[in-house]
Amino acid sequence: MSGGTGKNAFSVVGGGAWGTAIANHLAANGKSVQLWAYEKEVVAEINSAHTNTIFLPGISLDERLKATGDLAAACSAGMIFFVVPSHVMEGIINKMIPSLGKDTIIVSATKGIETKNLRLPSEIFDALLPPEMAKNLVCFSGPSFAKEVGLGLPTAITAASRSQASAAAVQDAMSNSKMRIYTHDDLIGVELGGAVKNVVAVAAGISDGLKLGHNARAAIITRGLAEMTRLGKAYGARADTFSGLSGIGDLILTATGDLSRNRTVGIRLGGGETLSQITDGMKSVAEGILTSKAIFELALKKGADMPVCREVYLVCHEGKAPKEAVADLMGRKLKGEFY
């Protein structure tokens, strides 16, 4: 099945919860759209029952949405939303390249950092795509639980690009009475916000799992924002980006919302479960787990002080006890709030 081809057609690569929600929103907004999913059962269910019970249960999908297992067919669209976990990005992009048009706008909705080479999604695209295509890349990020988008609840998101025209095209395609899109030019800052917030959300979840109270959670979110901004400055991003939707907006949502996979992982870690016990039963990736390792290494590389993110890495990957991590955070040398 095909959702159409050419400049006025849209595709979404990635049939998880967020990819399905984006594709459904586009279809409901009157766009010709097809969704590529790796899982054959997901493709079959979307086309026959108009649901995706594996990744987005409880949501009835627009009957105009068509799914496909043919990646080349999905790449014939004029605008492609790319929604796959960061650790499999490179392999999928390489498979897409032969089928992409020179004017295709790629919209990266992946939130994370590649652990192998410590690259942001845009850096991976820049390395793999021809320059004339890479300049049209758009980063799509902000406070947006997939389930709530699927339910048609009000949502605001940032579309950032080095090309004002490309960002505006995404704004036009996605905006309606249920979703408001803002454009931005700080591609790197928007990506960093979407990556770091997942790690801070794990920290907030650990605090909640340990029953440390609302004061502690608020402190973690605030200091996590400071760490996000610090890393952003080291990258040359704009500080004010992190006061926007892709920074503090997404951070608040992911660190406090009950639908947050990253917060849920933290709660269970704080409650005494091991990471392997938690992840063995998860259908969808909690990006904060892998991203915590990348952030830890990036902070060392960039000389950015990120103690909250560092403790999340130590708990997730070095077996540090959550209570010990809290004690070490609270026992650090005293200093001024801003420096």
User: Domain residues of the chain, as ranges?
Assistant: 6-185, 188-330
Q: Hey, is 53 helix, strand or coil?
A: coil
pLDDT of residue 162: 96
- Told to judge if 197 belongs to the known catalytic residues of this protein, a careful annotator would answer yes
Q: Which residues, 6 or more positions from 176, have their beta carbon under 8 angstroms from its beta carbon? A: 29
Alpha helix stretches (DSSP H) within the chain = 17-28, 40-49, 71-74, 89-96, 121-128, 131-134, 146-150, 164-174, 187-209, 214-235, 250-256, 261-270, 275-279, 287-302, 307-317, 322-330
4 compared with 262, residue with greater pLDDT: 262
CATH class of 188-330: mainly alpha
Active-site entry in 31, 66, 111, 197: 197
The string of pLDDT tens digits covering residues 21-49 is: 999 999 999 999 999 999 999 999 999 99
Q: Which residues, 6 or more positions from 52, have their beta carbon under 8 angstroms from its beta carbon? A: 15, 17, 20, 42, 45, 46, 59, 61
Half-sphere exposure of 41 (CA within 13 A, CB side): 3
Closest CA to 14 of 121, 98, 103: 121
Q: Quick one: 39 exposed, middle or buried, by C-beta within 10 A (0-12, 13-18, 19+)? A: middle
Q: 207-243: b or e for each residue (b if 16 or more CB lie within 10 Å)?
A: bbbbebeeebbebbbebbbbbbbbbbeeeebbeebbe
Alpha helix stretches (DSSP H) within 80-136 = 89-96, 121-128, 131-134
pTM to 2 decimal places: 0.93
Q: Hey, is 246 helix, strand or coil?
A: helix
The whole-angstrom separation of Cα 193 and Cα 322 is 24
pLDDT interval class at 2 (50, 70, 90): very low
The whole-angstrom separation of Cα 282 and Cα 273 is 14
The string of pLDDT tens digits covering residues 129-144 is: 999 899 999 999 999 9
Q: Which residues, 6 or more positions from 332, have their beta carbon under 8 angstroms from its beta carbon? A: 307
CATH match for 6-185 among 3.40.50.720, 3.40.50.300, 2.40.290.10, 3.40.190.10: 3.40.50.720
The string of pLDDT tens digits covering residues 193-227 is: 999 999 999 999 999 999 999 999 999 999 999 99
Closest CA to 59 of 1, 20, 31, 109: 20
